[in-house]
Amino acid sequence: MMKEIIVNKKYHEKKLNKLILEEVTNINYPTFCKLLRKKDIKINGKRVNKDILIYENDKVEIYLPKELEEEKINLDKIYEDENILVINKSSNIEVTGEKSLTKIIHKQYTNSGFKPQPCHRIDRNTTGLIIFAKNEKALDILLKKFKQHEIEKHYLALVYGIPNKEEERLEAYLFKDQKKAQVYISETFKKGYQKIITKYTVLEKRKDNTALLDVEIETGRTHQIRAHLSHIGYPIIGDGKYGKNEINKQFGKKYQMLSSYKLKFNFQSESGILSYLKGKEIKLKNINI
């Protein structure tokens, strides 16, 4: 397999290894040296056997042995324009990190001057919508909008038990234990705890003693929805950390039944190049929860 990369400004007058090690999955430095020895790298049509300088707009061709071919991952793009990209994230993948959704996107946007950056996060095994900014201005605006609560985030959650109230706005306090990678909820303020606000609306009551909820968070703390719903007696089915193992086994679910399914741009303040998004709603359809 041959992979082609057009050098962008970031790598202008940089060594060839920097480009390849950052942009090609599964290639480490020893493998890069082996490719050079075998003359399996071309720059502008000429084979090279040294770690030379490269320049903007150079064409780099890398001939990968079968065992190093990159896994083809199709991104589920829900919306894209010149400023933002919205992806439907699957379960069992982090938003950021070494083997993350962000890394996959960066490798598919190799020739972009600015690689799309995530503006918020959801848990590894929570599915759903993630917004990526495609330029610096959009990133600054979106980070500010999330901080000012001008973007609504709605989740679908399948919980065990039927809530007594059709809808409720819950306030509590959350403590994050870094060592255990777990959070704890308190009804009253304690030292080290942060305030959380979680709203839910019952969308569907099912015969198997489960309920489908629309959940909106006004504060975006780690594991907030999962821990808060469990705290009030309605654990999310499939949640191995805050749920109940016997219930998860009963329903045959290994991951939490939680999906970020709707985003609404409720811009109240100046939004610059993203003003056209004001009032726009992006929503997933046909969610299997």
Residues with a known catalytic role: 123
> Residue 277 carries which DSSP code?
G
Contact 26, 130 (CB under 8 A): no
Class of residue 249 by CB neighbours under 10 A (exposed 0-12, middle 13-18, buried 19+): exposed
Diameter over CA atoms, the chain: 71
Of residues 156, 159, 130, the one with CA closest to residue 253: 159
Beta strands in the chain (DSSP E): 2-6, 14-15, 41-43, 46-48, 53-54, 59-63, 77-80, 84-89, 117-118, 127-133, 151-160, 167-177, 182-186, 194-205, 210-217, 258-265, 281-283
DSSP string for 158-177: EEES--SSSEEEEEEEEEEE
- Distance, CA of 208 to chain centre: 31
- Tell me the β-bridge partners of 43: 46, 60
Q: Look at phi and psi of residue 55 and say left if phi exceeds 0, alpha if psi is from -120 to 50, else beta.
A: beta
For residue 4, what are the contacts with CB-CB under 8 A and spacing of at least 6? Answer: 59, 60, 61, 62
Distance (Å, whole) CA 41 – CA 19: 12
Of residues 57, 45, 79, 46, the one with CA closest to residue 9: 57
- Distance, CA of 201 to chain centre: 25
